[in-house]
Chain A
Amino acid sequence: MSVPPHAATLDRVTQRYGRVVALDAVSLQIPAGVMAGLVGPDGVGKSTLLALLAGVRRPQQGGLSALGEDLRDAAALERCRQRIAYMPQGLGRNLYPTLSVAENIAYFSRLFGQGAAERSARGAELMRATGLAPFADRPAGKLSGGMKQKLSLCCALVREPELLILDEPTTGVDPLSRRQFWALIGRLRARRPGMSVLVATAYMEEAERFDWLAALDAGRVIAEGSPEALKQRTGCATLEAAFVALLPPARRDGHAPVQAPPPAPRPPGEAPAIEAHGLTKRFGDFTAVDGVDLLIPRGEIFGFLGSNGCGKTTTMKMLTGLLPADAGEARVLGQRPGGGGDARQQVGYMSQAFSLYGELTVRQNLELHARLFHLPPRQAAARIAELLGDFELEGVADSAPEALPLGVRQRLQLAAALVHGPSLLILDEPTSGVDPVARDRFWNHLLRLSRQEGVTIFISTHFMNEAERCDRISLMHAGRVLAVGTPQAITAERGAATLEEAFIAHLEAAAGPALGEAEAPPPALRPPAPARPGFDPRRLLACAWRETLELLRDRIRIAFALLGPLLLMLAFGFGISFDVENLPYAVLDQDQTPESRSLLESFAGSRYFSERPPLRDLAEAEAQLRAGRIALAVEIPPGFGADLRRGTRPEVAVTLDGAMPFRAETARAYVTGLAQTWLRDRQAHSPLPRSETLLSIEPRFRYNQAFRSAVAIVPGIIMLMLMLIPAMVAAVGVVREKESGAIANFRATPVTPLEFLVGKQIPYAAVALASFVLLLLAARLVFDVPVRGSGLALAVGGVLYVLASTGFGLLISAFVRSQVAAIFAAAILSVVPGVNFSGLLVPTSAIAGAARAFGLAFPASWFQKISIGTMSKALGFAELWPNHLMLAGFAILFVGGAALAMPKQEA
């Protein structure tokens, strides 16, 4: 196939999420064989566009093609999954954090059907080329942001793509790692000149180096061309300025360039706003902040520059008192943070993510702050009105923040941090993801606060141009401060042209040169075999292998899956009992003759009853019953013995506590039986002529002669547990990938829904079977319920049943998005029919109508027949085989249904 002139083309593509238009009739021709970039702030449609080209989102409207293939055609799309690689947004979001570097790469190799030899060769080459080789065994979750991105890139490159799609690959990564990442991409392109690269980025500095750019705003392309062409067209020196100039006039409204006047001089000898010495924080064996010293005078704007995870946030939390320091000392406005002083009344804090209440309106959020800072109501109202005006929030005062654009929410957070008029602001990356216009507006607010109101501002950022606006900055990396000073001084000190280069020079000096990376020759890889269409067992095994590793390394899930059923079985076994015994009772014997005593002795001798002190009168009987201290009161009237001897049928009154009807009915049956036995015994010993017992009824309690609850309940508990727990765990197993973002790998690779789901099901079914064995052991050893019938019939039934229950979990996972929803949906949907309609408490023969149909439409009622049949009724295949057939049918139905309900593309 010849290389087409365009890597991808879009023809009036429109994409909506509900009422939000993400892409608005976008037409683009993205050139092939170059570095092409999409620029623009968060939420303008960059990610949607990339996801459409990567084939992970279903296109709604318009024409879409990549590498000369029409992406709306299913077969062409399948071919493209081999040729296009996609790295989604978010640091390492498509990686498996508990898998090691080598295992992550191996998983992707397996997904593309690569054999063991090819897998290890390719993995070794990629790790060498990216400098990850020394960390091959480190779990992906423990890598730094830059290393995660390199690993993500390795995983994308396993398939030798012709088009590489990268969604914000360097956001939140330190400048050195960023530079290394782009150098790596450059080497890869040198090796494969035909490879096209399409990158989305929010860093304008980065975009300056691309060959071709498209600038997006509000779902529309506002400009395209080379960076030089864009700058020329607008007459701007930087791309960022060009971007602002290219915005439609309405969006530029109110934009004023940021001009930082020098700080006002402060009175000499004034105590600093923040002072810290040797501040240190450790989490386990990881040192997040390592001996940080800070001295920030009042009225200054102090910038904190560094990558994600370098310790900026942790330092700020220690200064606000949210985290205790492990070593070192800090003074904020002269007080120790977290020391209980009133420094918090003087500090405004804005955390990295939006952390106000999305459920409250803008005004209610501000009111909550005012109340918590104990502002008098009148003053609070005035202050809120003032802030709403200052921060241009009046128009949205009664809307929920969730519906507002990011830039407006950031202004709201700043307003909330200012409600109590603090003299110090601690702002943690307040402008991440905000568009340049809103960012400049935000900075103008900050400068006003600092220069006019004398507020000290401690702000962290990873934007170099923001750092340049600060009075002084500190560069931070891996928990340490590398340099402190004015931006000009730091740049000059290293003899660098820009602040970024100075930062990189500091990072290199701190870390030493990157090991063996720059010199590594580009990997010489053979092209991989094309993916096999249709069902491929190797891809299924790849999914099973990866799921098994993850499950074995997640202690909470494996414990829940294996031991949860056992624990619940013990609770059920002891908690649900129909063995009514030791019923507390008391007697009111108003006769006190040998006859009355003999009747009462038969109560005392029964294991069903346990005697409490005798009653004085009827009132006491009533009180004792009311208090629940006795379950029944036996009253023998005066003259009972004499009447009995005379044959005038004396009355014995038994009063039962009917609060719990089952217990009351059972007690009534016991009392009746006891009275009859007593009379029969009396007649047997009586010298009087006996009246013949004409009719006797012989109850034969089959299967359970001793009439123990456990024999009936335990097989039912096994039925319930093997439904509930495997369904929950399997559902969570899929949904957690939706939450983490790793589901993108399913969408962007040739693996089919059936391979993916059955691969996932295998480890969960295996754990469920192990738990089945534990349940059977507990049934035998704790509850003395052995398997009396065919063990084979039970084992086969068990295997089919866990396939059905895990399949049910998979089916649920297709319809829910969060783990909580998966857990509750799986629990409710399996417990309701399992407990009510499957014969656990009520025999299925007593259930009729819709409830009966509901029970039959669920595997639990069929396995109940197998479990109680083999365990308690001593049955085998001969009697039970139809149930096995039904279970196999359910397993196929559920897994097939789940595969059909799980689309390869996100809507």
Chain B
Amino acid sequence: MPSLGNILALGLKELRVLRADPVMVLLLLYTFTLAVYSVSTGVKMEVRNAAIAVVDEDHSELSRALRAALLPPQFRPPVAIEAGAVAPALDSGRFVFVLQVPPRFEADLLARRPTELALDIDATAMSMAGNGSAYIQQIVQQEVEARIGGAALPVDLVTRTRFNPNSTPEWFAAVMQVVNSIMILSIILPGAALLREREHGTLEHLLAMPVTPLEILLAKVAANALVIVGAALLSLLLVVQGLLGVPLAGSLPLFVLGTLLFQVSIAALGILLATTTASTGQFGLLALPLLILLMLLSGSMTPLESMPPWLQQALQVSPAVQFVGFAQAVLYRGAGLRIVAPQLLALLLLGGLFLGVALFRLRRSLARVG
């Protein structure tokens, strides 16, 4: 039976050691403040500042109105170019969209002659091409309808967006970055702590005392979980809600519970990785690709449904997938315990499994080191 007193004593030691390590403290601060802020206000997968050019061969009031209707923040001010410059402009990536207004465009429409507009899209700019062309088409249709008049659709299609009514990208990115930061630190802190103890010989020193590997493992997981969950909570309240003004829909205690469960499995993974490597250098080389894999394939960057079905099935064993699903449900949609119970159960099972494997590997690796 693990002794609670030993775990407490070791956990306290773990916290003191972490506090004395300026690099880790800096990493902790950076990932939960600056990284969250810069990522959520930086890269956007939504259509923002798209570069658009217009070939205006009509020079009419309508064509000028079309140009004026393409507005920030979705679009940069449209640039007028010549018809011959379309291909080079797209080749060089200067513009993502080129709208071509043919001669006599306004006159034809006024005369009720069916007319065509060409919209060239650089489809290698995936994040903008699809939604951006939909926006442009909508904007052009509305503008033409307003000025020339046209038949309204016989159906009134009303779309409402729940949980993020204006599709504000920061709401998504900020919370998901907190989730990613939790993931990064939960692998690196316990793994690096174990390796440091091994490199400094303190691990061996502990084991020469009446302390078991399980107690050491639990103390490490618990102490780091305490720090990371605390920091994540502060980051959510101060940076995400306070600084970025993102509303948090759900129950924070529920989120803390899920994060703690997630910690167990992911910290066990970090320790598992630390036991398979000989030095912190090797640990870094292995941890980095693993982190990228976990994050990319968690659903925190692009939705899980976009991945091939076999991959979606396989990814159910990833604690990151379960946790991202849980976090999105709780923090965005305000889901309660009943709705996220399956994810919590999965996290619990995965945590137990990973911890068991990590303990087994830790014992084995201790027996091998000379």
Measured CB to CB, the residues of A under 8 A from B are: 281, 283, 288, 313-314, 317, 320-324, 342, 344-345, 347, 349, 351-360, 364, 368-369, 371-374, 400, 556-557, 560, 564, 567-568, 571-572, 574-584, 623, 625-628, 631, 644, 647, 649-666, 668-669, 671-673, 675-676, 679, 691-705, 707, 709, 711-713, 715, 728, 732, 736, 739, 818-820, 822-824, 827, 835-836, 839, 841-848, 851, 865, 868-869, 872-873, 875, 879
Contact = CB atoms under 8 A, between A and B. Distances in A.
Contacts of B158: 651-654
A827 B158 CA distance: 46
Given A649-B154, A675-B153, A846-B76, A578 B127 contact: yes
A368 B164 contact: no
B20 interface: yes
Given A574-B311, A823-B284, A848-B49, A672 B329 contact: no
Interface stretch (B231-239, B261-269, B330-338): B330-338
A672 B134 contact: yes
Nearest to B294: A571
B20 to A, nearest CB: 3
A347 B209 CA distance: 8
Contact of A819 (B280, B296, B311, B339): B280
Contacts of A571: 292-293, 296-297
Contacts of A657: 161-163, 333
A309 to B, nearest CB: 10
Contacts of B325: 628
Interface string B27-48: 0000000000000001111111
Nearest to B18: A359
A353 B124 CA distance: 58
B251 interface: no
Interface in B264-315: 279-286, 288-289, 292-293, 296-297, 301-303, 305-308, 311
Contact of B140 (A357, A359, A661, A697): A697
B119 A697 contact: yes
Contact of A836 (B43, B90, B161, B306): B43
Contacts of B121: 699-702
Nearest to B297: A575
Contacts of A702: 90, 120-123
A331 B39 CA distance: 60
B248 to A, nearest CB: 12
B210 A827 contact: no
Given A655-B160, A671-B159, A707-B129, 20 more contacts: A322-B208, A355-B202, A360-B17, A364-B13, A576-B296, A625-B163, A626-B333, A647-B154, A655-B161, A655-B162, A665-B131, A694-B112, A697-B136, A697-B137, A711-B124, A712-B123, A824-B284, A836-B42, A841-B45, A868-B124
Given A571-B297, A875-B91, A373 B209 contact: yes
Nearest to B195: A820
Interface string B129-173: 111011011101100100010111111111111111101110110
B125 A575 contact: no
26 contacts: A320-B208, A322-B204, A322-B366, A349-B209, A355-B205, A359-B17, A372-B211, A557-B285, A571-B297, A628-B329, A644-B154, A644-B155, A647-B154, A651-B158, A658-B167, A661-B164, A662-B46, A665-B46, A669-B130, A695-B114, A696-B115, A697-B116, A698-B118, A703-B122, A736-B281, A846-B51
A843 B51 contact: yes
Contacts of A400: 20
A711 B160 contact: no
A409 to B, nearest CB: 13
B202 A576 contact: no
Contacts of B48: 846
B184 to A, nearest CB: 11
A658 B170 CA distance: 12
Contacts of B281: 732, 736, 739, 818-820, 822-823
B206 interface: yes
B317 interface: no
A665 B172 CA distance: 13
Contact of B9 (A368, A576, A699, A827): A368
B205 A351 contact: yes
Nearest to B293: A571
Contacts of B211: 372
Contacts of A579: 306
Contacts of A374: 5, 210
Contacts of A843: 50-51, 93, 96, 122, 125, 127-128
A582 B21 CA distance: 47
Interface of B: 5-6, 9-10, 13, 16-17, 19-21, 42-51, 76, 88, 90-96, 109, 112, 114-131, 133-134, 136-138, 140-141, 144, 148, 150-165, 167-169, 171-172, 192, 200-202, 204-211, 279-286, 288-289, 292-293, 296-297, 301-303, 305-308, 311, 325, 328-329, 332-335, 339, 366-370
Contact of A659 (B115, B289, B333, B339): B333
Contacts of B200: 353-355, 358
Given A322-B204, A697-B137, A700-B119, A567 B289 contact: yes
A819 B284 contact: yes
A696 B155 contact: no
A668 B159 CA distance: 7
B17 A842 contact: no
B126 A713 contact: yes
A842 B137 CA distance: 21
Contacts of A704: 123-124, 129
B157 A672 contact: yes
Contacts of A672: 134, 138, 157, 159
Contacts of A835: 43
Contacts of B6: 371-372
Interface hub of B94, B157, B296, B301 (most chain A Cβ within 10 A):
B157
Contact of B117 (A347, A655, A698, A736): A698
Contacts of A659: 163-164, 172, 328, 332-333
A663 B303 contact: yes
Given A355-B201, A583-B305, A652-B157, A664 B164 contact: yes
Contacts of A582: 305
Given A347-B208, A697-B137, A845 B96 contact: yes
Contacts of A824: 284
Contact of B131 (A359, A669, A851): A669
B202 A661 contact: no
Contacts of B127: 578, 662, 841-843
A626 B45 contact: no
B149 to A, nearest CB: 9
A372 B76 CA distance: 65
Contact of B282 (A356, A556, A844, A869): A556
A360 B125 CA distance: 53
Contact of B307 (A349, A351, A577, A819): A577
B9 A372 contact: yes
B131 A666 contact: yes
A653 B160 contact: yes
A671 B159 CA distance: 9
B126 A709 contact: yes
B157 A577 contact: no
B128 A846 contact: yes
B287 to A, nearest CB: 9
Given A664-B167, A713-B126, A836-B42, A356 B205 contact: yes
Residue among B88, B289, B293, B339 with the highest chain A CB neighbour number at 10 A:
B289
Contacts of B302: 575-578, 662
A345 B137 CA distance: 79
A679 B152 CA distance: 11
5 nearest CB pairs, A to B:
A819-B281, A575-B296, A359-B20, A355-B201, A704-B123
Given A567-B289, A652-B156, A694-B148, A323 B367 contact: yes
Given A571-B293, A571-B297, A356 B202 contact: yes
